[in-house]
Amino acid sequence: MDPNERVPRIVDLTLRLEETNGLDRPVQALEPLVESVFGREPQRSVLRGEWLGHALHPLLTDVTLGTWTSASLLDLVGGAGSRAAAQRLVAAGLLAAGPTAWTGWAEWSTAGPREKRVGLVHAVTNAVAIGTYAASWSARRRGRYAKGVGLAMAGAAVAGVGGYLGGHLAAARKVGSHHPVFSDEGQGVPANV
Q: Is the pTM of this model over 0.85?
A: yes
Residue 187: predicted pLDDT: 55
In a domain? residue 114: yes
Q: In this structure, is residue 139 part of a structural domain?
A: yes
Query: What is the model's pLDDT at position 34?
Result: 97
Position 95 in a domain: yes
In a domain, 107, yes or no: yes
CA max distance for the chain: 59
User: What element of type H or E holds 31?
Assistant: helix 24-38
Q: What is the pLDDT of residues 94-151, one digit of tens each?
A: 999 999 999 999 999 999 999 999 999 999 999 999 999 999 999 999 999 999 999 9
Query: pLDDT tens across 56-88, in order?
Result: 999 999 999 999 999 999 999 999 999 999 999
> Domain tally for the chain?
1
Which residue, 118, 70, 125, 112, is CA-closest to 93?
70
User: Helix, strand, or coil here: 186?
Assistant: coil
Domain range spanning residue 103? 35-180
Cis peptide before 3 (omega within 30 of 0): no
Higher pLDDT, 161 or 39: 161
With bands split at pLDDT 50, 70 and 90, how would you rate the model's confidence at 193?
Answer: very low
Reported as a pLDDT band with limits 50, 70 and 90, residue 188 is low
The proportion of the chain whose per-residue pLDDT surpasses 70, expressed as a percent, equals 94
pLDDT recorded at residue 90: 98
- pLDDT > 90: percent of the chain: 88
Residue 22 lies in a domain: no
Q: What's the whole-number mean pLDDT along residues 49-60?
A: 94
- The answer to whether position 6 is within a domain reads no
Query: Is there a contact between 140 and 75 (Cβ–Cβ < 8 Å)?
Result: no
Please give the average per-residue pLDDT across 26-43, as a whole number.
96
Answer whether 84's CB lies under 8 Å from 148's CB.
Answer: no
Mean per-residue pLDDT of the chain: 93
Q: Residue 152 domain-assigned?
A: yes
In-domain check, residue 166? yes
